[in-house]
Amino acid sequence: MSRMLTILAALLLVFGLLLLNYTQAIAWEHHAEHAREVGYPDPANWMFRLGQFLTPAAALWLGMRLAGKQRSRDGGAT
């Protein structure tokens, strides 16, 4: 179960980064044009906001999961 939660945190981090890349604010028009050509939905503001939320939240969760594993491996020593 612990490994599954760590994998889930890593997948959420990757998904958040992909959302931020897809809705890159600097090249918004370029991404929207490419999305129309390929048949993908236009980058939306909610996608950008979700990416902004998921990326740091998943990174924090993944970091805490990995730090907890390290701490339990060391016997709780700091």
pLDDT, tens digit (0-9, with 9 covering 90-100), for 33-75? 877 888 887 778 888 899 999 999 999 999 998 888 766 666 6
Three-state secondary structure string covering 8-77:
HHHHHHHHHHHHHHHCCCCCHHHHHHHHHHHCCCCCCHHHHHHHHHHHHHHHHHHHHHHHHHHHHHHCCC
Q: What is the DSSP letter of 1?
A: -
Return the amino acid letter for 11.
Answer: L
Domain that holds residue 39: 2-74
The total number of structural domains in the chain stands at: 1
Distance, in Å, from the CA atom of 33 to the CA atom of 21, rounded to the nearest integer, reads: 15
Place 1 in a pLDDT band, splitting at 50, 70 and 90: confident
